[in-house]
Amino acid sequence: MADGASGIRYPFPQPPMEGEAITVAPGVLWLRLPLPMALDHVNVYALDDGDSWTVIDTGFASKRGRAIWEKLLRGRLAGKPVKRVVVTHHHPDHVGLAGWFMEHGATLCMPRTGWLMARMLTLDVQDTPKPEALAFYKLAGMEAQERARRAAERPFNFADCVAPLPLGYIRLIDGDTITMGGRTWDIRMGDGHAPEHATFWSRDCNLVIGGDQLLPSISPNLGVYPTEPDADPVADWLRSCHKFQSFAEDGHLVLGGHKLPFTGLPTRLTQLIENHHGALRRLLAHLSEPRSAGECFLPLFKRQIGQEEYGLALVEAVAHLNHLHQNGQATRVLREDGAWGFQAAADIAIGTIS
């Protein structure tokens, strides 16, 4: 299946059914776990190490997720144990069941930043939102009614869907190699969607395991959060995409964390870069007067944002505004309503986004 004239192709047009697997290369299985959100799945992979398996990412920690894995272990994984879990980054749909696998004898491998983030966030259980979080939402221009609703509710906690992580892991380092499924893989880190996001590039065949760093048809969320309110993940993301262009080949079969495996990675990286440059140009044109992040959804996303998407849209809007501000392309003032108002700098030409 091809994506129009873009040069992106999908050799496996149908995803695996729940509890099943598709062989995408010798000794490499594609599995899929459900998620209770608009993006309703996460892709995970099992690599055959002979007497055991290496699993790439895990899905949420839930009764349903554990039941699916137990079915897979009895079925397509042929009763062999999972001896190693490799986690691309710290987000819950990728690290959720890593601790559960460790309880059953697996070793955990992941980037240091991801391990620290996951362990910190699972230990930081909050019954009510922190004042810093509510202040961040106000500065971002979150609607007063939405802020009041969030202030009265228990916030999302990593511990709700991530199993406790025991002490001890093996660090994945940019530029190192790892052997999985009888193949040698180069480890290359990306940034932007998550700090130190691991991707794996096989030296023995045209396989790339991309996690959420290399996805077809959708662009990963680039968000700014109360923990680092002045972060610029857009710059991190663009820098990573340019870095990967040096290694990408049309024949690479990319196994991403969502959607379908695909080929045409050079084209996709160009699209991912231009998607954000286009969003920044539209956003800058919108900033003819001071606007908060909450007032920038339409130019950024080119569609209306519903309640379910509001939180992710807000943190991505902050990310793009921070990028313009830190590059000197927009100014920032504190408005009377308590929100940051971003405005295009007077001497900036909209076509010169960096």
Whether CATH 3.60.15.10 fits 22-285: yes
Residue type, 251: G
pLDDT (0 to 100) of residue 347: 75
Q: What is the pLDDT of residues 26-69, one digit of tens each?
A: 999 999 999 998 899 999 999 999 999 999 999 999 999 999 99
| Domains of the chain by residue range | 22-285
For position 271, what pLDDT does the model report? 96
pTM metric for this prediction: 0.95
pLDDT value at position 5?
Answer: 46
> What's the pLDDT score for residue 326?
97
Joined together, the tokens standing for residue 125 give: 């259980």
CA distance 99 to 197: 19
Which parts of the chain have pLDDT scores under 70? 2-6, 348-354
pLDDT score for 354:
60
- pLDDT of the residue at 7: 87
Three-state secondary structure along the chain? CECCCCCCECCCCCCCCCCCCEEEECCEEEEEEECCCCCCEEEEEEEECCCCEEEECCCCCCHHHHHHHHHHHHCCCCCCCEEEEECCCCCHHHHCCHHHHHHCCCEEEEEHHHHHHHHHHHHCCCCCCCHHHHHHHHHCCCCHHHHHHHHHCCCCCHHHCCCCCCCCCEEECCCCEEEECCEEEEEEEECCCCCCEEEEEECCCCEEEEECCCCCCCCCCCCCCCCCCCCCHHHHHHHHHHHHHCCCCCCCEEEECCCCCEECHHHHHHHHHHHHHHHHHHHHHHCCCCECHHHCHHHHHCCCCCHHHHHHHHHHHHHHHHHHHHCCCEEEEECCCCCEEEEECCCCCCCCCC
